[in-house]
Structure 1
């Protein structure tokens, strides 16, 4: 595998600078931009060779948000592996982004390794696009009740609301969530979203 180019789009100067340093130290080639418009202009004018590429973008930015940037790339037919970062824990936005094909979303602050692993996973997902059967097999392991809980989690419902909807206790919801994550082999909400939305 040749060098991986990471396109970084974030309007926070401090985060952008520290992330460039982190990714360059990890061996990536990094192109960083303060806005989605600046990135689109640079990306359109760039010669894209055989090297692998990944986009890391903030979800909330002025002028054009990360989700709007994703829409624009889809409109242009650009299937760039995409990892979103957000300081707002904005799960509904992230779910929408993942439904449209984003590989992952990370809530700031996150560990250095978390971002590097997310980029590698996004690239691997792109390489293995044909392995969709994994999700169906994994989801088939869930009980009907666990599937109900999963659907409500993906719909961004908190445990208390899920408990009310299903007429069970919060403790039982937590138990179903733990069993479900165990059966699906995931450790976090973003990983769970990926499997549920078909990117796992």
Structure 2
């Protein structure tokens, strides 16, 4: 599904405090998820939507499916949203951007120049994309930050990582890293730790 990366793990998990530039929808497989925002009380529910750039720790007491959704597809929100059992069951059966959008709202229409760089292969030189849309690279970075609220360099890191995560279930970490545009597996690992607080091996 365009804009959504699905990841499933059969066992409970816990990750320490982190933040990533995508929406995360955590759907426990019969259990519950707990999100720990810094300096606030933990939130426990049958499922959870965590907005982009929201610093948090997260754990489940069962296996789970996570949906990672590009940040420009949903309206921004300041805090996690708890999901009820019915919503979790529907999303597990058929992941639906429309259903998530009904809960969060839809992001405003993107400037075509912003859309061009966000949908480009992250390996494409930014200067080439900027020239193609008639802007300087610095102006294009500013436009993306104003529109999406996240630095372009972080969004491009996420695009590579999202591709790698999708590939880890069917190939080696080295191949997934190469296919996603990382120089090698050693460059994939710190990006996975920075954005997901996990190692590539734990995402397989």
Query: Is the structural similarity TM-score above 0.5?
Result: no
- Which structure has greater helix proportion? 1
| Structure with more strand by fraction | 2
Higher relative contact order by CA 8 Å / sep ≥ 6: 1 or 2?
Answer: 2
